[in-house]
């Protein structure tokens, strides 16, 4: 699988409508890549990916695409996220 294909799969998994936020482990498991691949795509796409200000119950960071965040969040969540600096 090529790098652009992996990147597209990861971004699509981050925007999966079944979830509001995703852990790198969850994304990696879903599409069969390493967590390192997920972190690399997140870092490369910092303009498209946002990180939650909270972590999963296991302590993992949570991510989603900026577009998915706006689609899945209430107006209050958006304001709170902007206030906390989570979404710019």
- Among the residues of the chain, which ranges form H helices? 3-14, 24-31, 35-44, 66-72, 75-84
Question: pLDDT tens per residue, the chain (88 residues)?
Answer: 787 799 999 999 999 999 999 999 999 999 999 999 999 999 999 999 999 989 999 999 999 999 998 888 766 665 666 655 554 4
Q: How far is CA 3 from CA 14, 18, 27, 33, in A?
A: 16, 25, 16, 11
The pLDDT, as a whole number, for residue 88 is: 42
CATH, domain range 3-84:
1.10.10.10
Whether 86 contacts 50, CB under 8 Å:
yes
Contacts of 82 (CB under 8 A, 6+ apart): 88
**How many CB atoms lie under 10 A from the CB of residue 85?**
8
């Amino acid at each position: 699988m090529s790098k652009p294909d992996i990147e597209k799969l990861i971004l699509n998994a981050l925007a999966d409508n079944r979830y509001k936020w995703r852990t790198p482990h969850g994304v990696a498991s879903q599409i069969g890549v390493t967590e390192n691949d997920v972190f690399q795509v997140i870092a490369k796409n910092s303009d498209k990916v946002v990180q939650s200000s909270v972590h999963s119950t296991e302590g993992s960071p949570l991510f989603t695409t900026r577009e998915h965040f706006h689609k899945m969040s209430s107006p209050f969540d958006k304001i709170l996220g902007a206030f906390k600096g989570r979404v710019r």
